[in-house]
Amino acid sequence: MRKSRVIIVAVILLFLFITGYLERYGSERIEKGEIEETSEVILSELPTVWPTEEWPTSTPEEQGMDSEKLVEMFEYIEQNDPKKLHGLLIIRNGHIVAEKYSSPYHEKFPHNTYSVTKSLTSAIAGIALDEGILNLNDRVLDYFPDMTFENMSEEKENMTIEQLLLMKTGIQWPEWEPENQVFRVWENSKKSRLQYYLDQPIIKEQVGEWNYDTGAAYVLGAIIERASGMTLNEYGKEKIFDRIGMDSLKFYETNDGIAHGGTYSEMTPRDMARFGYLYLHDGKWDGEQIVPKEWVKESLHPHTDLGKTDYGYYFYLNEGENGREFSARGALGQWIIVVPELELIVIETGRNFERLSINEYIVPAIKSESPLLANEQAYARLKELMEKK
């Protein structure tokens, strides 16, 4: 009997020693990124958070990410002209896990997003189409019966709203040719922006061919204003942006009093993230279908193969190791990047900062679909780097 008790005590002591060893040394290995937490909690299965008022914040480890890898990224930024990166925001599972700004920028500072604006206009167009005030096959010039235009042709008369969305109008607009300053000439013209753009000739052979065209998105915005009887800013806020908490958004107004649907909208990085989060959830927000689900799907459909990327309705699309990802992009380094499979949103604002590849630092920082054990030392260093101006 006594021998049995000794054996039982020995087994208990051995069990306590092994579990203590694993807890102590296993934790150290998790913190080093060598192994992952084996929690039964699956983060993507938790109730969805809706940041209408505020974005919740979290440590990277609480969202299955490794602070040490993010430290590597921020140290790289510090070594490569960090002032050119105005803002960086990383969101996983609806929680901000990393956020950094360089002076004078901060979380409430509206930033010029340039052509990210086009993706906003795409969303607004989806609402207008759903409400029946627009149709993809509508002829563009029918919305401007009070105006006359130069260089008329059958192709111009039959130009459609969908051609504007696809950037396939065939209009002579060599915006991406460095030797041609069509965009600057357009901006500085004494004509109204609308008149100047629609006066341009259409090259018959280029109808149906993709050509980057900020003017197309501008005209689409003007059509939405005429069809709705509201400014693009008013209509967009009422139908979408106010409903998801994008309070900072403001469209730029041109010399003819029309909101610019192609560029220059301003908003904070957190509001940029709200827009990405809306599309991550197929246009749905806190139980309401804000943008029609079918329109989101159609907007993110690869209508045009551009080689390294595809193009939808004013969105860029990629297929990678982590499945489908999509982005809204603006000049000089403005990005909304969404990776649905990873519940990941990355926002960048800046001025010609070398774009961070999410596959170099951010995606490799994702270690698990469950929370990791805390890495206090790495997180302290990460906070230090994020707070540095």
For the segment 137-187, what is each residue's pLDDT rounded down to a tens digit?
A: 999 999 999 999 999 999 999 999 999 999 999 999 999 888 888 999 999
For 331-350, write each residue's pLDDT tens digit.
Answer: 999 999 999 999 999 999 99
Chain-centre distance for alpha carbon 101? 17
SS3 category, 289: strand
- In this prediction, residues 280-305 reach a mean pLDDT of 98
Predicted local confidence at residue 263, as pLDDT: 98
Question: Is pLDDT at 310 greater than 80 in this prediction?
Answer: yes
Any idea which residue has 């969105």 for tokens? Answer: 315
What are the helix (H) ranges across the chain?
2-31, 67-78, 116-130, 154-157, 161-166, 182-188, 193-199, 214-228, 232-236, 269-280, 293-299, 362-365, 376-387
Report strand pairing: 310-311 vs 284-285: unpaired
Encoding tokens for residue 282?
Answer: 């197929």
Cα gap 43→181, rounded to integer Å: 49
Query: Using 50, 70 and 90 to split pLDDT, how confident is the model at 40?
Result: confident
**Cβ partners under 8 Å of residue 221, min gap 6:** 121, 124, 232, 251, 258, 259, 260, 261, 262
Predicted local confidence at residue 39, as pLDDT: 62
Question: Is pLDDT at 131 greater than 80 in this prediction?
Answer: yes
- Phi and psi angles of residue 57, each rounded to the nearest 5 degrees, phi first: -110, 160
Query: 10 Å Cβ neighbour count for 108?
Result: 12
